[in-house]
């Protein structure tokens, strides 16, 4: 992991990815029930921070959920959603279809 995080070429490749694909993911091999609970707690603390900020009258910014493992099934679902979206764009907004 140290070698990867110090690799300038890798960093440039990550920056070329669309924003949605830049979020770090956790390898399934490092995921455990304890890590899952800690991740859930981290997300709830973010919710509490938003609630405190909102109670003070300010508009809280959206907190990003903590990274979770991505499986092949998750990636397949995402590809299907993108394909469905692209088909709809092609039908409903043909002038936008060439941008994809």
pLDDT score, position 45: 96
Please state, for a pLDDT cut of 70, what percent of the chain lies above it.
89
What residues contact residue 24 under an 8 Å CB cut-off, 6+ apart? Answer: 67
Could you identify the residue written with the tokens 């409903």? Answer: 92
Q: Is 99 helix (H, G, I), strand (E, B) or coil?
A: coil
- Which residues, other chains included, contact 22 with Cβ-Cβ below 8 Å and sequence gap of 6+? 14, 15
Q: What is the pLDDT of residues 16-63, one digit of tens each?
A: 877 656 566 788 888 999 999 999 999 999 999 999 999 999 999 988
CA distances from 89 to 77, 85, 100 (A): 18, 6, 9
Tokens of 43: 């997300």
pTM: predicted TM-score of the whole model, two decimal places: 0.58
């Amino acid at each position: 992991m140290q070698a990867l995080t110090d690799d300038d070429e890798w960093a440039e490749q990550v920056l070329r990815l669309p924003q949605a694909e830049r979020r770090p993911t956790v390898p399934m091999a490092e995921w455990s029930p304890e890590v899952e609970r800690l991740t859930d707690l981290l997300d709830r603390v973010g919710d509490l921070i938003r609630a405190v900020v909102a109670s003070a009258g300010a508009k809280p910014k959206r907190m990003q959920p903590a990274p979770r493992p991505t499986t092949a099934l998750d990636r397949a679902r995402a590809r299907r959603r993108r394909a469905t979206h692209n088909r709809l764009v092609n039908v409903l907004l043909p002038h936008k279809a060439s941008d994809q």
